[in-house]
Chain A
Amino acid sequence: MAVVVSVEGLRKRYRSSDPWAVDGVSFALEPGQAFGLLGPNGAGKSTVVKIIAGLLRPDEGKVQLFGSDPGNPTSRKDMGFAPEDPDFPKFLRAGEVLDYFASLLGLDEGERKRRIPETLQFAGLENERRQVRQFSKGMKQRLGIAQAILGRPKLLILDEPTADLDPLGRRDVRALIDQLKDSGVAVLLNSHLLSEVELVCDTVAILAKGRVLKEGTMAEVVPEGRNLEDVFVELVQANTPQRDQLPSFITDEPKA
């Protein structure tokens, strides 16, 4: 089966004096597979997905997207990317943002007219007439997911896709991922919501300080009788400084 994404020995740091944000990460993603990228804040998850999406350049290692360099625009034609904390040109309306992005995807007018209203409806933004600058975080997140699926991608990258969504929105995203997986779309999910990852992903990699601590199928990573959260906490705590001490002004007895 053709590999959708392959990452080999990926390393990246933002300044030469900084520690590696991503340090030797390798994995591959096949069609119909849902891959979960997990890790605490600053683990390097977003850096990995931004390199795959062609937004950042790796310092070392090799990344291939549909067999090409992600920096090559044509390699991104079949990729949909919903970024973490998404934003859009703020003076445009939701329909205009989708029309803009559909044009960038090279969709013709007929296809745009067909897909945009349906995508807006999926995102619950079909009656929204305000400009993006007046949108809530949740509305932007829904628009972010909408623009990511607009091109009918073969790879969908979701970076914290449900962080600002209500429970109904989260359920819709889970249903979307399941449906896309069934139709052969590869999904790369980057999320803190471990229960969500456990529900939708076949394979996971747990990162900390830019390194993969554990990777494998859900059954390999999560032993019988345990859950993903237990495994995650155990692995991450063993590899990062403890942060369980509360500030003294919280724990001190209040003065009379």
Chain B
Amino acid sequence: MNGTLAVARYTLAELSRRRILLVFFIIGAIGIVGLGVGLKILYTVASSSGNIAPNNVDPAVFNRFLELSFVNYVFSALATFGLLIAFAIGMTAIYHDLDSGSAVSIFSKPVSRFAFATGKVAAAVAALVVIVGALALEARFVMFLFGGGFENALTGEALAVVGNSVVVMLIVLSLSTWMNNIVAAVVAFVYYDVITGVISFVHNLADNGVITNNLIKTIFDIVYWLVPHELVSSAIGDVAKASIAISGPQANNQALSGIQPASGAGDIVWWAFVVFFFAGLVYYAVRRRQV
């Protein structure tokens, strides 16, 4: 336990001093505040004369539209920065110890490879949660400028982003124990974003009846349960419903049918299994590694 805590503590200290993470965080933070404040200024200027030209839009509706734009942006930004941070942490947390030779001194101490791997994974997850959590908190604060209403959706989306980023990070961590960290990141990207993305997309098409070929349906039903499932929060649906609500009576629920539904219990259990599997792979890779 002491070994795990020591590894986690000093890995966190190292991660907190890595400029690349700081740069990602600063860009994300400035982007969120910049857009939120920018949209608010736009609203203030545009609504200063009563109704908003050219279509005499109600300022309240316009404010809601800007808030929805902001929320959409925040969700995209969180997902993008979550992934970038996951890659940055995954590529460095274990690889640099192995590559620099630090692992020689560390592994000669009375610490088990399990304690080392556990400490590294714990620190990596903690760093990811802190950075994404800080960006989400900042976004939540900016939302108050617009009157709020999407706080719960933001919390759900932040959790989904953290969950998905943890999977990517564990894949990169385990691969970078075997291979060069840049190659590991490319392989992880191809596996998680390309192969898994295509499988999930085709599976969804088959589920929605777009693909009717039974053989393809069966194949993709099987392979779908061999790859990680991206967690989806209800936030995307909530924002879509709100957009439809301000579009007027002519809008209908047909638009909602194309939106991926929120992950159910099965997907969450599968996510937990995937996390456990890749964390186990990190341990296996560290245990097998000779330095």
Contact = CB atoms under 8 A, between A and B. Distances in A.
Number of contact residues on B: which range applies? Answer: 20 to 34
B20 to A, nearest CB: 12
Interface string B272-291: 00000000000000000011
A104 B3 contact: yes
Nearest to B289: A55
Contact of B290 (A57, A73, A87, A101): A57
A254 to B, nearest CB: 42
Given A89-B14, A92-B14, A103-B2, A53 B108 contact: yes
B110 A88 contact: no
A161 interface: no
Number of contact residues on A: which range applies? Answer: 20 to 34
A106 interface: yes
A103 B110 contact: no
Contact of A54 (B2, B97, B102, B108): B108
B12 to A, nearest CB: 11
B6 A104 contact: yes
Nearest to A51: B290
Contact of A76 (B9, B100, B109): B109
B52 interface: no
A246 B13 CA distance: 50
B108 A88 contact: no
A136 B97 CA distance: 18
Helix, strand, loop or mixed for chain A's interface?
A: loop
A75 B97 CA distance: 23
Nearest to B111: A104
A131 B96 CA distance: 15
Interface string A60-93: 0000000000000111110101010111111110
B106 interface: yes
Contacts of A87: 100-102, 104-105
A235 interface: no
Contacts of A90: 14, 96, 100, 102
Interface string B12-25: 01100110000000
A106 B10 contact: no
A191 interface: no
A106 B2 contact: yes
Contacts of A86: 101, 104-105
A144 B102 CA distance: 10
A147 B110 CA distance: 13
A220 interface: no
Contact of B6 (A81, A103, A144): A103
A85 B100 CA distance: 10
B202 interface: no
Given A89-B14, A89-B102, A104-B6, A55 B109 contact: no
B17 A131 contact: yes
Interface string B73-104: 00000000000000000000000110011101
Closest 8 CB pairs of A and B: A103-B6, A81-B108, A104-B109, A87-B101, A91-B17, A77-B110, A87-B100, A100-B10
Given A76-B110, A91-B18, A104-B6, 6 more contacts: A73-B110, A75-B110, A88-B105, A89-B97, A103-B6, A104-B3
